[in-house]
Amino acid sequence: MSTPVLSSPRRVAPPKSRWLAVVAALWLGACTGSPASEPASTQSPDPETQLERGAAEAPESQQFAYFAGGCFWGVEHYLEQMDGVLAVESGYMGGTTDNPTYDDVLTHATGHLETVRVRYDPAKVQYRELAKRFFEIHDPTQQDGQGPDIGNQYLSAVFAVDDAQKKDTQELIEILRKRGYDVATTVRGAADFWIAEGYHQDYYARTGKTPYCHARVRRFDD
């Protein structure tokens, strides 16, 4: 089975600088939620909640996948609609900073990508199907971000937890390249996953809005 990767984030009181970061990100079209519109209790997930313990306590029948494809709101939105997907959580992976906050990632200095952790039942959906959907809901050929979101935190990447996931991903990339897609997606090993602030979780489901830089484009035969 796939090995979950879990790191618990610290509690973070929203600093004054967050307001400036949010305003700047909105102006640039970045993936941002306004903390002012969220209840105080959602600002930082409680490390004792099931959301935080999810990977560590998941039964053996569940497996995990990690995808980065631009703003995690849109990736989360589309992947959680798939049958067999039990939960999708937004967070950060791939960088060198421990306990990163959204403000930290906005500086482009942490190396982290906006990433989703997909918890799924392999008896109902296989990893390869999740990876296919991932390649269809974002533009895997964009090299500098995703849509209007430009920056190293928005790069396209798959974080494989084992050789099987790596093999499936590489095979799908090769299929796309043979079909003329200049795929920019990188395949990396899964590292520590740092869950994002509460106001980023299930953003579109909670707000009723729709993704602004993600849409499904069928790139495979099925």
Task: Give CA–CA dist 97/184, Å, rounded.
Answer: 24
pTM of the model: 0.78
- Count Cβ atoms within 10 A of the Cβ of residue 212 and give its class: 0-12 exposed, 13-18 middle, 19 or more buried: middle
Task: Give CA–CA dist 101/217, Å, rounded.
Answer: 32
Among 71, 79, 87, 155, which one carries the catalytic annotation?
71
pLDDT band at residue 23 under the 50/70/90 scheme? very low
Task: Give CA–CA dist 182/50, Å, rounded.
Answer: 39
pLDDT band at residue 92 under the 50/70/90 scheme? very high
Tokens at 27, concatenated: 């102006």
Residue 213 annotated in active site: no
CATH of domain 16-207: 3.30.1060.10
The stretch 56-66 carries a mean pLDDT of 77
CB 94 within 8 A of CB 68: yes
